[in-house]
Amino acid sequence: MATEKFDVVDLIRTKRDHGVLGTAEIDWLIDAYTRGYVADEQMAALAMAILLNGMSRDEIRDLTLAMIASGERMDFSGLGKPTVDKHSTGGVGDKITLPLMPLVAAFGVAVPQLSGRGLGHTGGTLDKLESIPGWRASLTNEEIFAQLASVNGVICAAGSGLAPADKKLYALRDITGTVEAIPLIASSIMSKKIAEGTESLVLDVKFGSGAFMQDIDLSRELARTMVDLGNDAGVRTTALLTNMNVPLGLAIGNANEVRESVEVLQGGGPADVVELTVALAAEMLRLAGQPDADVAEALRDGRAMDSWNRVIRAQGGDPTAALPVARETETVLAPRSGVLLRQDALAFGIAAWRLGAGRARAQDPVQHAAGIDLHAKPGDHVVEGQPLFTLSADDGSRFARAFESLEGAYDIGAPSEYPGAAPLVAERIS
Ligand code: URA
């Protein structure tokens, strides 16, 4: 039997005692964990030590590279056009990938969006797109390449060959209270994005109640860590820090988020969704060598919409087909007149999830028509009795738990009490 290079208990003790692991130790650790030599309980102890004591920049880089090396690395250099991707750390009503990908693809840049499914209160891009009849999330590497060559854009499931060490480690972190560690989040996200083979990457790092990190300082630290990881690995990377205290747009769910995305692609849609789509598209095109691209014009003149129709059809979807509609709805009316002061993103995200728009376990299906449609946003004047929001579900027994989440989630007050809208894009990190 081949002898192992290191003893995992020594590595755990090193991190427990605030020490630093070397490149060879981290390479061995990730390889030994992937092949099952290092046990889950040992990796969990190490993850907790990292959560409590942190990692140096070199350790985070080594961990990311070791996770990339655990699987395949895609290569789009043969496409003959720039490649650029976007990753969001996840939020409520965050459908931005849907209008963004075809918008950027309309400028002749290839956008390989290898995405995930929703877990918990933040939605998943693949779940949203699966509301479209016929649309297919699973593509082979050859299909991804061919679609990028023909229509410049693809949104599909990341294959199991991409950073398998991260897949195993993320599942373990999920059940051991070790998700919220910046070195582990940064290496997890960036190992997948670097292995995906994009030349440039824009990160939408969210902060606020509906985000992974509530605190802007922690979000900034996460963004800085990921931007450095990407640039060190040769991927041009920048980040926008964006506000997630209020749901994005008016739709939270799956099919309704597709509907809202199509409105944006038709030149309409809610102002915040348009603003963030345009900001991220401009940033992506800047990295891809088109700093003067007029992205807002491409939304108005139909180029982005044409691009959406092409990419949806390329994956078997019918962009003209009717989207699913829920069997039951409940509309909440304004209890008094005034200004809507607050709309808590986390509470609305949890409510939509409880209605069936999200899943509690990775293997659960989602209900595509379930979700929430907002009829007013903070800052809007409302009149007593006017609709504030509508809940939709296929199963009416879900409403009670959704309403529980919404208790105290919004306030109506005098105009003088409204502090004004916080900027959606708070900072750019490069
Ligand atoms: N998303 C990921 O892919 N990994 C994390 O660790 C957290 C969010």
| 163 Cα: distance to centroid of ligand 1 (angstroms) | 12
Spatial CB neighbours of 427, under 8 Å, sequence gap ≥ 6: 220, 240, 241
CA nearest 307: which of 150, 128, 414, 418? 150
How far does the centroid of ligand 1 lie from the alpha carbon of residue 120, in Å? Answer: 13
Give catalytic status of residue 337 as yes or no. no
Residue of 192, 236, 354, 368 with catalytic role:
192
Using a 10 angstrom Cβ sphere, with 0-12 exposed, 13-18 middle and 19 or more buried, the burial of residue 41 is exposed
Residue 133 maps to a domain: yes
What percent of the chain lies above the pLDDT cut of 70?
Answer: 99
**Token pair of 264, please?**
């944006």
| Pair (351, 292) in one structural domain | no
Clarify whether 192 is annotated catalytic. yes
C-alpha–C-alpha distance, residues 381 and 175, integer Å: 44
Given 3-state DSSP classes, what are the helix, strand and coil percentages for the chain, each rounded to the nearest 5? Answer: 45, 15, 40
Q: Hey, whose CA ends up nearest to atom 8 of ligand 1?
A: 185
Is 262 in the same domain as 340? no
Q: Kindly state whether residues 260 and 333 are assigned to the same domain.
A: no
Model confidence at 47: pLDDT above 80: yes
In this prediction, residue 160 has a pLDDT band, given cuts at 50, 70 and 90, of confident
Residue of 346, 395, 128 whose CA lies nearest to 253:
128
* Residue 270, in any domain of the structure: yes
**272 phi and psi angles, rounded to 5 deg:** -70, -35
Task: Output the CA 236–ligand 1 centroid distance in Å.
Answer: 20
Task: For 405-414, write each residue's pLDDT tens digit.
Answer: 999 999 999 9
Q: Assess whether 306 carries a catalytic annotation.
A: no
- Ligand 1 atom nearest the C-alpha of 170 is 6
**Catalytic (active site) residue 193:** no
Same domain membership, residue 228 and residue 85:
yes
Confidence of residue 119 (pLDDT cuts 50, 70, 90): low
- pLDDT for 238: 98
Of 260, 291, 314, the one marking the end of a domain is 314
| Nearest ligand 1 atom, CA 173 | 6
Contact between residue 385 and residue 337 where contact means Cβ atoms under 8 Å apart: no
Specify whether 188 is catalytic.
yes
Distance (Å, whole) CA 136 – CA 130:
7
pLDDT surpasses 90 at 56 = yes
Residue 360, pLDDT > 80, answer no
The answer, yes or no, to whether residue 22 has pLDDT greater than 90, is yes
Distance 356 CA to ligand 1 centre (A): 22
With respect to residue 209, please indicate whether it lies within any of the assigned structural domains.
yes
Residues 252 and 217 in one domain: yes
Q: What is the DSSP letter of 183?
A: H
Ligand 1 centroid to 185 CA: how many Å? Answer: 5
Indicate whether 154 and 261 sit together in one domain.
Answer: yes
Residue nearest to atom 5 of ligand 1 (CA): 185
Tokens 């006017």, located at residue: 386
Q: How confident is the model at residue 115, as a pLDDT?
A: 87
Which two three-digit tokens encode residue 403?
């309403």
Ligand 1 nearest atom to the CA of residue 189, by list position: 3
Choose the residue to mutate in 67, 122, 188 for probing ligand 1, maximizing ligand atoms within 8 Å of C-beta: 188
pLDDT value of position 1: 58
| Mean pLDDT for the stretch of residues 107-118 | 90
**What average pLDDT is seen over the chain?**
96
Ligand 1 atom 7 nearest Cα: 185
pLDDT at 174: 84
Specify the residue with its C-alpha closest to ligand 1, atom 2. 189
Give the position, in ligand 1's atom list, of the atom nearest the Cα of 192.
3
Residues 293 and 336 in one domain: no
Catalytic residue among 15, 61, 87, 398: 87
Q: What is the pLDDT of residues 222-276, one digit of tens each?
A: 999 999 999 999 999 999 999 999 999 999 999 999 999 999 999 999 999 999 9
Average pLDDT over residues 362-371: 90
Domain that holds residue 377: 328-417
Question: What pLDDT sits at residue 391?
Answer: 98
- Are residues 157 and 241 located together in one domain of the fold? yes
What residues line ligand 1, using a CB cutoff of 6 Å? 170, 179, 184-185, 188-189
Ligand 1, atom 3: closest residue by C-alpha: 189
Residues 291 and 154 in one domain: yes
Summarize the confidence of residues 54-70 as an average pLDDT. Answer: 97
pLDDT of residue 116: 76
Kindly report the CATH number assigned to the domain that includes residue 240. Answer: 3.40.1030.10
Residues 211 and 121 in one domain: yes
**One domain for residues 283 and 348:** no
- Out of 27, 94, 166, 272, pick the active-site residue: 166
Q: What 3-state class would DSSP assign to 305?
A: helix
Task: Count how many domains the chain has.
Answer: 2
**Nearest protein Cα to ligand 1, atom 6:** 185
Q: Are strands 84-88 and 387-393 parallel, antiparallel or unpaired?
A: unpaired
Same domain flag for 341 and 218: no
